[in-house]
Structure 1
Amino acid sequence: MYSARDQVENEEWLAEIEAAADRLDLSADARSYAVDMFLSSVPESDRSKGPAMAASLYAGALVASEGRSQTEVAEAAGVSRLSIQQRWKDVLESAGLQPPSW
C-alpha cells in the first residue's frame, strides 16, 4: 500500500499517467488502477519511473477491460514498447493479480 506522501512525492508521474491516459482515452477506472499500481511499487530510481508508469498504465487498462496495445501505450507515455513488455506482468503480480497466460 502507499501513503499520501508517496502521492505528493510522485505528483509529476501521476500527472504523466493522466496525460497519457487522456491520449489513450481511458476511463476513470483504468486511470485509478494505473495510479494504484504505480504508487504501490514506485521504483527508487527516477530513470525507472517512466517505464514503471507506462507499465502501470498498460496493466490498468487491462484490468479495466480497456486493453490497449503495448505500442499504443508506449507512444502515449513516451517510452519504448520493450520497457512495458519487460515490466507489466510484475506490476500485475505485485498488485496481487494473475497476469493472463496469452
Structure 2
Amino acid sequence: MYSARDRVEQEEWLAEMNRAADSLELGADAKSTAEDLFLSNVPESERSKPAVAAAALYAAALLSGEERAQTEVADAMDVSRLSVQQRWKPLLEEAGFRPPTW
C-alpha cells in the first residue's frame, strides 16, 4: 500500500501517466488502477520509473477490459516495448493478481 505522501512525491509521474492514458483513450477505472499499481511499486531509481509507470498502465488496461498493445502503451510513455513486457506480470503478482500465462 502507499501513503498520501507517495502520491504527492510522485505527482510528476502520475501526471505523465494520466497524459499517456488520455492518449490511449483509457477510462477512469483504468487510470485509477494504473495509479494504484504504480504507487504501490514505485522503484527507488528515477531511471526505472518510466518503465514501471508504463507497465502499470498496460496491466491496468488489461484489468479494466480496455486492452491495449504493449507497443501502444510503450510509445505513449516513451519507453521500449520490452520494458513493458518485462514488468507488467510482476506488478500484477505483487498486487495479488494471477497474470495470464499467454
TM-score of the aligned structures, taking structure 1 as reference length: 0.99
- The CA deviation at 1:10 is 0.3
- Residue of structure 2 equivalent to 1:59: 59
- What is the CA deviation profile of residues 22-56 of structure 1, one whole-angstrom value per residue up to 9, with x for unaligned ones? 00000000000100000001000000000000000
**Aligned residue-pair number:** 102
Q: Which amino acid aligns with 2:55?
A: A
- Residue of structure 2 equivalent to 1:46: 46
Q: How does 1:1-102 map to 2 (within 5 A)?
A: 1-102=1-102
- The CA deviation at 1:82 is 0.4
Over 3 Å off, 4+ runs:
none
Instruction: Report the 3-state secondary structure (helix = DSSP H, G, I; strand = E; otherwise coil) of the residue aligned with 1:26.
Output: coil
Structure 2 CA distance, aligned partners of 1:92 and 1:32?
A: 15
- The CA deviation at 1:57 is 0.3
C-alpha RMSD over aligned residues: 0.4
- The CA deviation at 1:101 is 1.2
TM-score of the aligned structures, taking structure 2 as reference length: 0.99
Unaligned runs of 5+ in 2: none
Identity of aligned residues (%): 66
